[in-house]
Amino acid sequence: MTIEHPCWETIAVTHRDGITELRVHTDGGPLVWSATAHHELTEAFYWLGNQQQTKVAILTGQVRAGPLTRGGVAPVICRCTSRTTPADGQSSRFTLIICRD
């Protein structure tokens, strides 16, 4: 079963067998944190919360460090998954899995 989802500039969505994957990116490469990425990720979590077909959500991607990532969500994601925050210009992969009861 496929589910309808909004088109986001910085998030690619795939869904299969109750698993929804949200992959963050900028033009297909590592995500460069921006106001657009922040807005779309907030919108995506709201949208995902309303998808009863989704039993497991996977948020994944690669985040490129830069001035806008300091103090924001990107360093938190990178620290949680790789235990380090990348230096400016570097990138770090992450995967966050969320399961619904």
pLDDT score at 73: 46
Is the model's pTM score more than 0.75? no
pLDDT score at 92: 56
Measured CA to CA in angstroms, residue 43 lies from 26, 36, 47, 53, 59 at distances of 17, 10, 6, 18, 14
Query: Structural domain boundaries of the chain?
Result: 11-99
pLDDT score at 54: 87
pLDDT score at 66: 57
Which parts of the chain sit beneath pLDDT 70? Answer: 1-2, 65-95, 98-101
pLDDT score at 67: 55
